[in-house]
Amino acid sequence: MALSGARTLVIGAGIIGRSTAYFLARQGVQVVLLDEGIGTGSPTSRASLGVLTHCNGGDNPYAQLFRDGHALHARLAHDLAEDVGADVGWRPRGGIELFADPAQLEEVWHFNRRRGCRVERLDERAWRAAEPALVGGGEGLYFADDHRVDPLKLGAALWAAARRQGASAAWGECVWRIAQAGEAVEVATNQGIHRADFAVLAAGAWTGGLAAQLGAQVALRPVRGQQARFAGAPLRHLVRINGRHFIPTSGETIVGSTVEEVGFRLATTRAAAAEFAAEVRSAFGRCLPLSRQQAGLRPKPRGGRPLIGPLTNAPRVFVASGHYKNGVLLGPITGQIVARWIAEGTPGRDMRCFAPER
Ligand SMILES: Cc1cc2nc3c(=O)[nH]c(=O)nc-3n(C[C@H](O)[C@H](O)[C@H](O)COP(=O)(O)OP(=O)(O)OC[C@H]3O[C@@H](n4cnc5c(N)ncnc54)[C@H](O)[C@@H]3O)c2cc1C
């Protein structure tokens, strides 16, 4: 395989497609990033909270991918600031989790200690000093390795840097058909035909449908997630209460997310907005005005692990999807691996357990 100068079509301009385009362009590969949208970012990647959650010390390939993906964000934020002058909002804020049920706190504490995660106990006085805006009682946990990046800024900066290295885009093109013909991949869209040496299917929850055209079974389904933004940012850390995240960002608090099995329905609901508003009231003892609500479709793979690698019967077509709740965390490392796989012919690590057809 290989080849600097090879032409690669990346299908899907969510966080995975943009990361892949960025790292391919850095490897000297000619990239065309193709999406049916108009270039403002996919709804799912835009809806993401951007939490880079703490990881564990396990040595299986998924734990390693998670750990390396988490670490890559700090370097990438630095590189993108140098390359295109962008602040992608990467902040090592640390996370505080509060529990109504002491037995649940014990369980989470022991689970994270066992798997080598950095976690500290916080009594009520300690977390109140750290987060004076919160009301309520009980104990909490502190996770030093909970970080955050702004998904929208990250996506924009990755694409700006890829373009700077020569990548181009085909916006407003919906892929209808894809086939591998000998050494080439042919992709038909509503606008015409693209031919390339390689293609990367980074179409989020729609990836399985595209892979099926090549006779591959890539098992993915959409799981809707909603979040809402409230005016006012009284928090300093990433806070989690009863499984719900409260994320401070410039002038706002993002609250999320729901987990809903509703197929490809992307609409937001009043019920979710009311639930988030009630949770804000309960966390802060007062209401904050709702400013915006968003929804996305997380690509959930069968078997839990992301789907990354070439298709068996079409080895010039790579899948990069199935990151479910961690697509922002794992997007850059996925892009780095796929780019190396295409440009150098090797992923540089053991990727067997991420094989897309399983
Ligand atoms: C509410 C919510 C909160 C989340 N919070 C976090 C978090 O805190 N941390 C984290 O790491 N992750 C989080 N996630 C998960 C993360 O957002 C996803 O895993 C990630 O965005 C998936 O990115 P993607 O590039 O695979 O897919 P997408 O973002 O869905 O992008 C796929 C792209 O493919 C395009 N496409 C599809 N089919 C075609 C076609 N036939 N032709 C052309 N283009 C096509 C679409 O237009 C789209 O732009 C959250 C998700 C949601 C919904």
* Residues in contact with 250: Cβ distance below 8 Å, sequence separation at least 6, in sequence order: 233
DSSP structure string for 280-300: HHHHHSS---EEEEEEEEEEE
- pLDDT recorded at residue 316: 96
- Strand-pair category, 192-196 with 184-189: antiparallel
Q: Which residues pair with 200 in a beta bridge?
A: 10, 318
**pLDDT (0 to 100) of residue 35:** 97
Residue of 264, 291, 265 lying closest to 276 (CA atoms): 291
Q: Which of 40, 48, 300 to mutate to test the pocket of ligand 1 (most atoms within 8 A of CB)?
A: 48
pLDDT of residue 1: 44
Q: Name the residue at shortest CA distance from atom 21 of ligand 1.
A: 45
Low-confidence ranges of the chain (pLDDT < 70): 1-5
DSSP string, 90-145: -B---EEEE-S-HHHHHHHHHHHHHTT---EEE-HHHHHHH-TT----S-EEEETT
Eight-state DSSP code of residue 195: E
**What secondary structure letter does DSSP report for 194?**
E
The DSSP call for residue 309 is E
Q: Are 189 and 174 in contact (CB under 8 A)?
A: yes
Q: Please tell me the distance between residue 18's alpha carbon and the centre of ligand 1 in angstroms.
A: 11
Q: What is the pLDDT of residue 5?
A: 56
3-class SS of residue 162: helix
C-alpha of residue 298 to centroid of ligand 1, in Å: 6
Q: Given ligand 1 and candidates 16, 42, 238, 319, which is best to mutate, with the most ligand atoms within 8 Å of its CB?
A: 42
* Gap from CA of 15 to ligand 1 centroid (Å): 7
What distance in angstroms lies between residue 6's CA and the mean position of ligand 1's atoms?
Answer: 26
Residue 122: the pLDDT is: 96
257 Cβ closer than 6 Å to some ligand 1 atom: yes
CB 32 within 8 A of CB 196: yes
Cα separation, 250 vs 291, in Å, equals 13
* 224 touches ligand 1 (CB under 6 Å): no
Give the closest residue (by CA) to ligand 1 atom 49. Answer: 42
Q: How far apart are CA 347 and CA 350, in angstroms?
A: 8
Closest approach atom of ligand 1 to CA 174: 42
**Closest residue to atom 4 of ligand 1, CA basis:** 48
Distances, alpha carbon 233 to alpha carbons 84, 134, 208, 273, 355, in Å: 28, 12, 39, 18, 41
- CA distances to 2, 98, 257, 295 from 47, in Å: 35, 24, 9, 6
Q: Is the CB of 328 under 6 A from ligand 1?
A: yes
| Cβ count near 145 (within 10 Å) | 18
Rounded CA separation 196/187 (Å) = 8
Using the mean position of ligand 1's atoms as its centre, give its distance from the Cα of residue 140 in Å.
Answer: 31
Q: Ligand 1 centroid vs 206 CA: distance in angstroms? A: 10
Identify the H or E element spanning 202.
Answer: none
Pocket test for ligand 1, best of 65, 171, 298, 318 (most atoms within 8 A of CB): 298
Nearest atom in ligand 1 to the alpha carbon of residue 226 is 1
Cα-based torsion angle of the residue sequence 38, 43, 45, 51 in order, rounded to the nearest 10 degrees: 150
Which of 90, 264, 300, 323 has most ligand 1 atoms within 8 Å of its beta carbon, as the pocket-test mutant? 323
Q: What is the pLDDT of residue 2?
A: 46
AA letter at 112? N
Task: State the Cα–Cα distance between residues 281 and 279, nearest whole angstrom.
Answer: 5
Report pLDDT for 137: 83
pLDDT tens for each residue of 295-317: 999 999 998 999 999 999 999 99
- Please give the model's pTM, rounded to 2 decimal places: 0.96
Residue 71, C-beta contacts closer than 8 angstroms, at least 6 positions apart: none
Q: Tokens 């700006």 — which residue? A: 160
What's the half-sphere exposure (Cβ side, CA atoms, 13 Å) at 165? Answer: 23
Instruction: Say which residue the tokens 């890829």 belong to.
Output: 162
In angstroms, the CA 236 to CA 93 distance is: 7
Instruction: Kindly list the domain boundaries of the chain, sorted by start residue.
Output: 7-88+150-219+302-354, 95-145+221-299
Nearest CA to ligand 1 atom 41: 175
Domain 7-88+150-219+302-354 has CATH 3.50.50.60: yes
CATH 3.30.9.10 fits 95-145+221-299, yes or no: yes
Question: What is the residue with the minimal CA distance to atom 2 of ligand 1?
Answer: 48
pLDDT in tens, 216-235: 999 999 999 999 999 998 99
